[in-house]
Amino acid sequence: MRLLPAWAGVALAPLAAMPPPALAQQGSVVEGVVYVRNAKSTGALVYVIPAFAEPPVAPVETVLIDQRNLHFVPRTLAVLPDQAVAFRNSDPILHNVFSPDTLGEDFDLGTYPEGEWRTRRFRRLGAHVILCHIHPEMEAYVVVLPTRHYVLAAGEGRFRIAELPPGTYSLHVWHPRAEPFRREITVRAGDTLRLEIQLERRGATRTLPK
């Protein structure tokens, strides 16, 4: 089985009226900064859904979440519906992988030692919390998205989604400790749309948005 890091998508063209070929080649950019309670926040997942687009086909590659130094790495992983995720134990101790019934896809992959992994396909859209029965402090999220246009906010909450076909999009931001954010945007051929996004904090809870 081939294991890859978090897969970065390729732009999808909307099925609505397409721009002339010369304009279609001019990819647009959406970039900016995400704040949670006025603090720049890494770990926010920013994604845009094109209007009138077909659901993306899941890549055949399996992506990886590692259990290393008593952490899930990465802590947040975005995938497409029906994409496979491998959970590998790289610690010299036993680990477990399970998810409670938050989206109707609860599962328990059991407990296994260093060097082994288990694989799970995620089908329902939304954020699936991933936990370990042995180490309750461990937590990760697999977020199933209906789009290939996504990015995790990096240092100082900055994000950049490039090579977008011009058109109308629904922009979403997900963060494990904030209320979900949504806004309609329009991008023109070759333009850069810059945004500052303020999220409202929800407090320390594992209740997830649907």
Which pLDDT tens digit goes with each residue over 99-125? 997 788 899 999 999 999 999 999 899
Distances in whole angstroms, Cα of residue 48 to Cα of each of 11, 67, 79, 137, 158: 10, 29, 14, 31, 16
Domain-located, residue 79: yes
- Comparing 101 with 44, which gets the higher pLDDT? 44
Please determine, for residue 12, whether its predicted confidence score (pLDDT) is greater than 70. no
Query: Is residue 191 domain-resident?
Result: yes
The model carries a pTM of: 0.81
Question: What pLDDT, on a 0 to 100 scale, did the predictor assign at position 208?
Answer: 40
Residue-averaged pLDDT of the chain: 84
Residue 8 has pLDDT above 60, yes or no: no
The domain total for the chain is 2
- What CATH number has the domain bearing residue 137? 2.60.40.420
Domain final residue, candidates 98, 125, 146: 146
20: CATH: 2.60.40.1120
pLDDT at site 201:
86
User: Does some domain include residue 9?
Assistant: no
**pLDDT computed for residue 203 by the predictor:** 61
Query: In the structure, what pLDDT confidence band is assigned to residue 24 with cuts at 50, 70 and 90?
Result: very low
Same domain, 116 and 153: no
Mean per-residue pLDDT, 128-152: 95
The pLDDT assigned to 155 comes to: 82
Q: Are residues 75 and 139 in the same domain?
A: yes
Mean pLDDT of 162-181: 93
By residue range, what is the domain housing residue 181?
Answer: 16-53+148-202
Comparing 30-34, 118-122, 179-183, 198-202, the range with the smallest average pLDDT is: 198-202
Please tell me whether residues 63 and 137 are part of one structural domain. yes
Size of the chain in residues:
210
pLDDT value at 76 more than 70: yes
**Cβ neighbours of residue 138 under 8 Å, at least 6 residues apart?**
67, 70, 71, 72, 95, 131, 132
Q: Are residues 122 and 196 in the same domain?
A: no
User: Is 168 contained in some domain?
Assistant: yes
Residues 84 and 97 in one domain: yes
Q: Are residues 85 and 37 in the same domain?
A: no
